[in-house]
A and B are shown apart, each in its own frame.
Chain A
Amino acid sequence: MQFERETLLTAYRSMATIRAFEEKVHEVFARGEIPGFAHLYAGEEASGVGICLHLNDADYITSTHRGHGHAIAKGCDVPAMMAELYGKRTGLCLGKGGSMHIADLDKGMMGANGIVGGGPPLACGAAFSARMLNTNGVVVSFLGDGSINEGSTMEAMNMAKVFNLPVIFAIEDNEYAQATATSWSVAGSMTKRAAGFDIPTTMVDGFDFFDVHQAAGAAIDKARNGEGPQLLHIRLYRYYGHFEGDATTYRGKGEMDKVKDTKDCMVRFRADLTSKHVIVESDLEKIDTEITALIEQSVQDARQAESPREADLHTDVYVSY
């Protein structure tokens, strides 16, 4: 596939923004600046970006507890995301959602989700809306490997097939469902489960942006053209724990270093861009500099931003007590 230079630079910017965002969150979380929980997407960037590049604002995604990357890939405002993590009034959700509930429906981002398997039924609903409103939209339901063992995912797959809905189930398999090995906890295989519903599966190398992009493009085109739900089984790896503060002692010795040293999706993408495409190091360095400034500014702004006011507690919901 031929790529426009701008498309590749957009992809790089998006992936590098996610990596920088997550590394910064890791740093400031450790300093106690961010309340609550944070689940970081670093290592998985090629997946979210490779998929979302095919989507427009009329297409929706549902996300997971590890949702920062999906949100950035779908075009959510980065400074507003950082402010949300800091629990500030300037946050994307006015500080009422936090890391696990970042959403921007105008961008088609239906929310990070604190419930494993929470998204697939919602994705089916967005697909019903798209059909009813004639938007020609598709819906990507991002899922972790753990969600494949949730009944809601199985129910949604069945329903998506029964109604031939344009839903792409994007399973990001990072080998661990929290601290439990996926290889142990999934009986049979994801492919066979999807096959049970007659949903086609594509195995995807989540370390390779181009593989994700190609596979996602094909699946999304099929769904958009009325061929019904599709499943992507994307194998990748997360660099941080399940949550920030997780010591990840369940990993094998040297396991993560080996992945980082040999498979990292950013390193690979940079190498591919400069060796196989008309992009030079200085193009990427310029983007890196801009991203560093953006993330720094986002943190500075978030730190200084106004906190939600006490009265905000009572808005956006029916209140009687």
Chain B
Amino acid sequence: MSRKSFRQAINEALRDEMRRDPKVFIIGEDIVGGTGAPGEQDAWGGVLGVTKGLVPEFGPERVIDTPISEMAYIGAAAGAAATGTRPVAELMFVDFMGTCFDQVLNQAAKFRYMFGGKVKTPMVIRTMYGAGLSAAAQHSQCLYPIFTHVPGIKVVIPSSPYEAKGLLTQAIRDDDPVIFFEHKFMYDDKGEVPDEPYTIPFGEANLTREGDDVTIVALGRMVKLANEAADQLAQDGIHCTVLDPRTTSPLDEAAILASVRRTGRLLVVDEASPRCNVGTDISALVADKAFDALKGPIRRVSPPHTPVPFSPALEIHYIPSVERIRDTAKSLVEGK
């Protein structure tokens, strides 16, 4: 166990699984950097350096730089997965899913069911998401609700370096297509991460803190912000449960419902744009199955329903803040 960054945790999971299973390979744009060029090899290791150091160990046959052709290489990952290997594709930004969605939506997601259970599609798409770096409207979206909506895909949203390594290891060993969301703001976050390989099962929420007054369900980067809000609320005598579902498909419904039954109040914090996001889904779940336990309205904290703005002066108002989470939880508990 030692302190590692989110970036290191992901790199370690990839490295360990590639060492463990020769059928695992990674494929994407500039995950090596310098392919075919006269200069340095492994020049980038991914646009933010997450896959750096893998090509020297595993070679270009298993760490594959592709042309800028998302449809071709995401589809190739699906085809490779269906024919006996275990690809981990990197889609640089989830926003680029627009150029290759068919291969995920209509191919990879459907094979197992559509072919009567005879085909496994053990592919992972690692992809970057989220606002906070002024990456603007085409490089900052969350989009995990879209994939959560599609049966056949598993959707993973790690909230810490520990979660990142354990969930990615599980994703690579899973026989279904998995979309693995990495928040671009979190790569330098540090936390305790075991040196040896380990897995975190899908569909098991993590109770990051327990309190009797309100349940805050938060996703990805919002887990940290929700905990900061809960720290402040504790000083006012308000005790929060902060629940991290870790995967939105499968979703740990039981843990969410049990917690709401204990606290009687629900706040969902979701960085995805608010219409039809995971927050609305969890709200519907609780309204449907735990309505009788609620002491007040279900509240949601999400960005406004706008594209992600560029200017830091605007983006700061776009992203759910610790203060907004804190104040929303407080007003809920105080019945205001």
Interface, chain A (partner B; CB < 8 A): 60, 62, 91-97, 101, 103-106, 110-111, 113-115, 118, 120-126, 128-133, 151-152, 155-156, 158-159, 162-163, 315-320
Q: Which residue of B lies closest to A109 (CB)?
A: B115
The A-B contact count (CB < 8 A) is: 159
Report A-chain residues with C-beta under 8 Å of the C-beta of B23. 132-133
- Does B231 count as interface, using CB distance less than 8 angstroms? no
**Set A96, A103, A115, A159: member contacting B72, Cβ < 8 A:** A159
Min CB–CB distance B250 → chain A (angstroms)? 5
**Set A93, A120, A125: member contacting B81, Cβ < 8 A:** A125
CB <8 Å contact, A97 and B116: yes
Q: Which residues from 115 to 135 on chain B have a C-beta closer than 8 Å to any C-beta of chain A?
A: 115-119
Report A-chain residues with C-beta under 8 Å of the C-beta of B116. 91-97, 316
**Set A121, A131, A163: member contacting B74, Cβ < 8 A:** A121
- Does B165 count as interface, using CB distance less than 8 angstroms? no
Report B-chain residues with C-beta under 8 Å of the C-beta of A62. 79
Report A-chain residues with C-beta under 8 Å of the C-beta of B80. 125-126, 128-129, 132
Q: Which residue of A lies closest to B66 (CB)?
A: A159
**Supplied contacts A96-B116, A128-B85, 8 more A-B pairs, CB within 8 Å:** A93-B114, A101-B114, A110-B79, A120-B72, A124-B76, A159-B72, A162-B67, A318-B250
CB <8 Å contact, A159 and B114: no
Chain B window 97-120, contacts with chain A (Cβ cutoff 8 Å), 1 for yes, 0 for no: 000001100110011111111110
CB <8 Å contact, A124 and B253: no
Report B-chain residues with C-beta under 8 Å of the C-beta of A118. 75, 102-103, 106-107
Report how far A151 CA is from B83 CA in the complex, Å. 23
CB <8 Å contact, A122 and B76: yes
Listed A/B pairs (6) with beta-carbon separation below 8 Å: A121-B72, A125-B77, A125-B80, A131-B61, A132-B23, A317-B112
Report how far A122 CA is from B87 CA in the complex, Å. 13
Residue from the set A105, A120, A129 with the largest chain B CB neighbour count within 10 Å: A129
Report how far A156 CA is from B66 CA in the complex, Å. 11
CB <8 Å contact, A159 and B73: yes
CB <8 Å contact, A97 and B115: yes
CB <8 Å contact, A103 and B119: yes
Report A-chain residues with C-beta under 8 Å of the C-beta of B110. 101
Report B-chain residues with C-beta under 8 Å of the C-beta of A103. 111, 114-115, 118-119
Report B-chain residues with C-beta under 8 Å of the C-beta of A158. 67, 69, 72
Min CB–CB distance A194 → chain B (angstroms)? 16
CB <8 Å contact, B79 and A125: yes
Report B-chain residues with C-beta under 8 Å of the C-beta of A60. 83
Q: Which residue of B lies closest to A95 (CB)?
A: B116
Q: Which residue of A lies closest to B105 (CB)?
A: A115
- Does B205 count as interface, using CB distance less than 8 angstroms? no
Given that A115-B102, A318-B152 are known contacts, is A159 also in contact with B82, CB under 8 Å in the complex?
no
CB <8 Å contact, A94 and B83: no
Given that A93-B115, A93-B118, A132-B23 are known contacts, is A122 also in contact with B78, CB under 8 Å in the complex?
yes
Min CB–CB distance A156 → chain B (angstroms)? 5
Min CB–CB distance B27 → chain A (angstroms)? 8
Q: Which residue of A lies closest to B115 (CB)?
A: A103
Residue from the set B66, B81, B116, B249 with the largest chain A CB neighbour count within 10 Å: B116
Q: Which residue of B lies closest to A105 (CB)?
A: B119
**Set B75, B114, B154, B253: member contacting A125, Cβ < 8 A:** B75
Report B-chain residues with C-beta under 8 Å of the C-beta of A126. 79-80, 82-83
- Does B251 count as interface, using CB distance less than 8 angstroms? yes
CB <8 Å contact, A156 and B83: no
- Does B84 count as interface, using CB distance less than 8 angstroms? yes
Report A-chain residues with C-beta under 8 Å of the C-beta of B118. 93, 103-106
- Does B25 count as interface, using CB distance less than 8 angstroms? yes
Min CB–CB distance A67 → chain B (angstroms)? 13
Min CB–CB distance A314 → chain B (angstroms)? 10
Report B-chain residues with C-beta under 8 Å of the C-beta of A152. 71-72, 75, 102-103
Report how far A316 CA is from B112 CA in the complex, Å. 6
Report how far A152 CA is from B75 CA in the complex, Å. 9
Min CB–CB distance B107 → chain A (angstroms)? 6
Report how far A131 CA is from B69 CA in the complex, Å. 20
Report how far A101 CA is from B23 CA in the complex, Å. 27
Report A-chain residues with C-beta under 8 Å of the C-beta of B74. 121
Q: Which residue of B lies closest to A101 (CB)?
A: B114
Given that A118-B107, A122-B75, A159-B72 are known contacts, is A133 also in contact with B114, CB under 8 Å in the complex?
no
CB <8 Å contact, A315 and B117: yes
Report how far A105 CA is from B72 CA in the complex, Å. 21
Q: Which residue of B lies closest to A317 (CB)?
A: B113
Report how far A125 CA is from B25 CA in the complex, Å. 12
Report B-chain residues with C-beta under 8 Å of the C-beta of A110. 79, 82-83
Min CB–CB distance A152 → chain B (angstroms)? 5
